[in-house]
Amino acid sequence: MRKATQMSFLAGLFLSLVVSGCGSSQGVDSPVEPGLAFREAIMVGNPEGNPSGPYLVTSETNQVLMSWTEENRDGEGRNVLIATVSSDGRLMNETRQMNREPSGSRGGEHKAKFTLGEDDSVSALFVAFTEVYKKRVLKSAFADGDGPFSSELRLNDDQREVSRANFTAIGTAPGGKIYVAWLDGRNDLEAKEVFMTISEDGGRSFGENYPISALACPCCRPSINFLDGGNSMVVTYRDNGSPSAEGELANVRNHLMIHSSDGGQTFNDPVVISDDGWTFDRCPHAGISVDVDSRDRIHAVWWTGGRTPDEAGIYYTYSQDGGRSFAPRQFISDAPADRVLHTEVTVDKNDTVYIAWEGVLQDRTHIFLAHQRAGEEKWSPTYQVNGGTWNTFYPMLTTDQDSLYVSWTERKGESSQIRLQTSPLAGS
């Protein structure tokens, strides 16, 4: 089974688009339908500020907003910026700065993030800049519509001089409540739990912190998604260590999902999304990406090092019962066992699933993408969505009514830059 899938992937890669703003390609036995036709990519931000860490969110009114960070020219740390983007890849309005105090969120697994209220208000989330590794403070700022941002709020309420709060998730539930989850080391500086806080007023203030998990991998981002019209929610995180097949405690780094039916007050026991059996005694810095379609089907994509090097790769699965069980994982792409890679998933209005991931070619990382139409099991041919000689990291995806948005960070030496590319939705 895997060999056939690998051949399909390689064939798709051979036929893939090295995207420069045009065209699409179909595999020999692909469905006859329009593929993705990417427009010309744009550069985002001030190149002198080494932009990095793009984050994309689509509003209830079908606007797409993008945040990123740039170096703070007035001192240390970075600034967190936000702007609206159009389907042809243009920044549509004036860039706003979301922080007042410097941020330490360069990007990667602990990038700055935001969520949108039903009134298009913005609630930003980032880690404050500090030179002390074990003194990490979460900050939030709020803006009405396209107005200025408020002074920052501190979200982790432990008030300890030494703390470890980072690797975050934020989301707005139907009905307007905002949920934040993060990895917190207040109870053990050498380990972390997943903590949560809730805003009842659209991000203007947040309630007390409370733990929602046992020990979690201390460096892999969690995620938050909503089901049943907001009546339930799921949170994912990577396990800090599970028993091995022999029953001994080992650093098995499976991804877990917990489910709440009471607005995040209580969660059920964690469910293993896929028993990959990958053991690792350091920090992977690679969380799972999850999205939910209109039928409450949960889609997940991730990288694993596998039980053996042959199993290392990018995998996909889904759940049709609210995260209580998952289909056997589906192999998407080979990956080196000794090189951590990152993934992203999003679902459009037609329940087409788009997945993006980092792949390695000629010792450089590139961004690849594929999509799967609702009700189908086969994936499209694989698209390569970047060119050039820079290493490419951390894909980000979202969709609006008409287009797919793809962004990523590129690095060469100490320099970084962001690109944004769009395409009409698959099948349109």
Longest dimension (CA), the chain: 61
Q: How many domains does the chain have?
A: 1
Domain span at residue 171 reads 2-424
Q: What is the pLDDT of residue 114?
A: 98
pLDDT band (50, 70, 90) for residue 238: very high
pLDDT band (50, 70, 90) for residue 188: confident
Q: Convert the pLDDT of each residue in 62-101 to its tens digit.
A: 999 999 999 998 888 999 999 999 888 787 778 999 999 9
CATH number of the CATH domain containing 337: 2.120.10.10
What are the φ/ψ torsions at residue 165 (nearest 5 degrees)? -125, 110
The mean pLDDT value for 279-293 works out to: 92
| Nearest-angstrom CA–CA distance, 55 and 92 | 16
Q: What is the pLDDT of residue 189?
A: 74
48 in helix, strand or coil?
A: helix
pLDDT band (50, 70, 90) for residue 14: very low
The mean pLDDT value for 236-252 works out to: 72
| Nearest-angstrom CA–CA distance, 86 and 93 | 10
Q: Convert the pLDDT of each residue in 31-71 to its tens digit.
A: 334 589 999 999 999 999 999 999 999 998 899 999 999 99
Q: What is the pLDDT of residue 6?
A: 40
| Nearest-angstrom CA–CA distance, 57 and 224 | 14
181 in helix, strand or coil?
A: strand
pLDDT band (50, 70, 90) for residue 7: very low
Q: Write the CB contacts of 78 (distance below 8 Å, at least 6 apart in sequence).
A: 69, 70, 71, 72, 102, 103, 104, 105, 106, 129
Q: Convert the pLDDT of each residue in 379-406 to its tens digit.
A: 999 999 998 889 999 999 999 999 999 9
pLDDT band (50, 70, 90) for residue 190: confident
